[in-house]
Structure 1
Amino acid sequence: MQRVPLVDYLVLDDEPHLVAAECTGCGARYFDRRSACASCGELDFRSADVPTEGELTTFTIVQFAAEGVEVPFVAGVVDCGGTSVKGNVVNTPPDPEHVTLGMRVRLTTVPVGTDAAGTEAVGYGFEPVP
């Protein structure tokens, strides 16, 4: 089965990871395309691999969502070695007993859907580090 990443900055290889655009002037990191750095105005960027483990810095437990979206789920922000990454916390119950500020998490892939040709779209989330 062919797999394709849901976002351009998700790399699906033996060890899936995220790749950010890093400003060559100040080191600020961004996901997706940038014309200029929002921090310093620099126009040049290089690719930078983002660490796959990090710390959950903020989160919310979503109780209401669009039709077809399973709730509750946990949306959060993870500090991956100084790069802030938005993503859902998965593979754990979505409650304050299992999801806490400062918890260690790691990147994981999440199947999103499969088209008629059998190609699977793959997203990402973060799961607790045991």
Structure 2
Amino acid sequence: MPQSIPFVDYLVLGDTPHLVANECTACGARFFDRRNACAACFATEFRKVDVATEGEVRAFTIVSMAAPGIPVPFVSATVDCAGTSVRANLINVDPTPEAVHVGMKVRLAVAPVGTDEAGTEAINFGFEPQR
């Protein structure tokens, strides 16, 4: 049976896939990458917190030119997930101004993005419209 692994460290797979952020214990700022100090208040203590799986598009752009091998067009967006800002692609939606809008309600979705020689499948995340 092939194994699946998350494409990024902050994606948790399983029955209910979700993102996990590093939250500053002093000011509550959240980051997805490893930090030595908070960019907002310079504190050095963090805790892991689950990020809401539903959100709202705050900004987006339709990308029409990308590196070779990357299919275009696609939608890159900033999604507000209950106060945590997440940058991700919108998936399962037409990449047109008619289909995407600021304020659009979206939910976390996962999809395979590649398989290595051993059959291990990498799973990444995006956001799709709530139906």
Tell me the TM-score range normalised by the shorter chain.
Answer: over 0.9
Residues 1:36 and 2:37 aligned together? yes
Alignment of 1:1-130 (within 5 A): 1-130=2-131
* Cα distance in 1 for residues equivalent to 2:74 and 2:106: 16
1:10-63 superposed Cα distances (whole Å, 9 cap, x missing partner) = 000100000000000000000020000011111000001000000000000000
* Cα distance in 2 for residues equivalent to 1:104 and 1:98: 12
Query: 2:81 is matched by which residue type in structure 1?
Result: C
Runs of 4+ displaced beyond 2 Å: none
Shift of 1:109: 0.5
Give the secondary-structure state (helix, strand or coil) at the position aligned to 2:103: coil
Query: 1:37 is matched by which residue type in structure 2?
Result: C
Structure 1 unaligned runs (5+)? Answer: none
* Cα distance in 2 for residues equivalent to 1:13 and 1:90: 20
Give the secondary-structure state (helix, strand or coil) at the position aligned to 2:87: strand
* Cα distance in 1 for residues equivalent to 2:28 and 2:95: 34
* Cα distance in 1 for residues equivalent to 2:105 and 2:111: 18
Structure 2 unaligned runs (5+)? Answer: none
Shift of 1:110: 1.7
* Cα distance in 2 for residues equivalent to 1:39 and 1:32: 14
Percent identity over the alignment is 62
* Cα distance in 2 for residues equivalent to 1:12 and 1:117: 20
* Cα distance in 2 for residues equivalent to 1:13 and 1:19: 13
